[in-house]
Amino acid sequence: MKCIYCKNEIPTSSKFCMCCGKRVIVCPACQYGPLPMVAVYCPNCGKKPVEKPENENSNMTTQKTVR
Ligand SMILES: [Zn+2]
Ligand SMILES: [Zn+2]
C-alpha cells in the first residue's frame, strides 16, 4: 500500500511509514487503508479503525486544566 503522506510504497498493514515515519492507520476489521489519523470511521466497513478508546489518554483534545 502507499503512504498517504509521502506516497511511497510501504508494507501492507504497516502502523508507521518506513519512509517518512508518520503514523498510518489500517482498519483492523477489513484491512482497508491506509487511513489518515483523523479518520474516525473506516470508509470501507464503517467500523472505527482507531484502536485507542477516546476516554483514555485524550491528550489530543484541548482540555483546559486550570488550577
Ligand atoms: Zn510516508
Ligand atoms: Zn474497515
How many Å apart are CA 67 and CA 61, to the nearest integer? 18
Q: How many angstroms is it from 65 CA to the middle of ligand 2? A: 35
- The pLDDT value recorded for residue 18 is 93
Q: Is 44 helix (H, G, I), strand (E, B) or coil?
A: coil
Q: How many angstroms is it from 1 CA to the middle of ligand 1? A: 11
* Protein residues placing their CB within 5 Å of the ion ligand 2: 27, 29-30, 32, 42, 44-45
14-58, pLDDT tens digit by residue? 888 999 999 888 888 998 888 887 888 999 999 988 766 555 555
∠ Cα 51 54 58 (to 5°):
115
Q: What amino acid occupies position 16?
A: F
- The pLDDT value recorded for residue 61 is 63
- The pLDDT value recorded for residue 59 is 59
- The pLDDT value recorded for residue 53 is 55
- Decide if pLDDT at 63 tops 90: no
Q: Find the ligand nearest to 47 CA.
A: 2
Domain spans in the chain, listed from the N-terminal domain onward = 1-53
DSSP code of residue 10: -
C-alpha cell at 50: 482507531
